[in-house]
Amino acid sequence: MLYNVSQLLKEPIGSTREYRVDEIVDGPELLAGKVLGQVNLLHTHQGVLVRGQVQVETAWSCSRCLASVTDTASLEIEEEYFPVIDVITGRRVPMPEDADPTFSIDANHTLDLTEVLRQCLITEAPMKPLCRPECQGLCRTCGVNLNQAACSCGGASDPRWGALADLLRNQN
């Protein structure tokens, strides 16, 4: 998701550009494919402020059975990017002290939104993603996916729970 902002940086502060996003991203972790939405670029006194709303296809691993899970996440983007080269003079521009160098406009005046999408996805990611709410996970002993097949090892449990298991068997 690259945008050339050289013309925007030549225009007066407050100038804007609006882009519809409809791309397939094959990049960093979590991003699984299609990105749809809209981004607005605003020329600020130091750089370019990016605001937008996008729908992103995500790829997670189920925390219980490790199955691949695809989903769609709605993300709101708001990040300021700073140029490393002045578009008029071609001289190097110092980054503001509090700026993250990850969000810079490169020497070709290209702004890359891939990293901001990845960081927004990390904040939106579920702590323990599940393929489905009733996922049974993997057998601790033999590793069989309990959603697909019964365990052949009998699911040997911790011996400290033996008395409780006997109680359950006696009730049945």
Question: Secondary structure of the chain: what % helix, strand, coil (to 5)?
Answer: 15, 35, 45
Rounded mean pLDDT for each run of 10 residues along the chain, 172 residues in total:
93 96 76 88 95 91 90 92 92 87 91 90 88 91 88 70 81 76
The residues with which 83 forms a beta bridge, in sequence order, are: 105
Instruction: Output the CA torsion 81→82→83→84 (10° steps).
Output: -120
Rg of the chain on CA atoms, in Å: 25
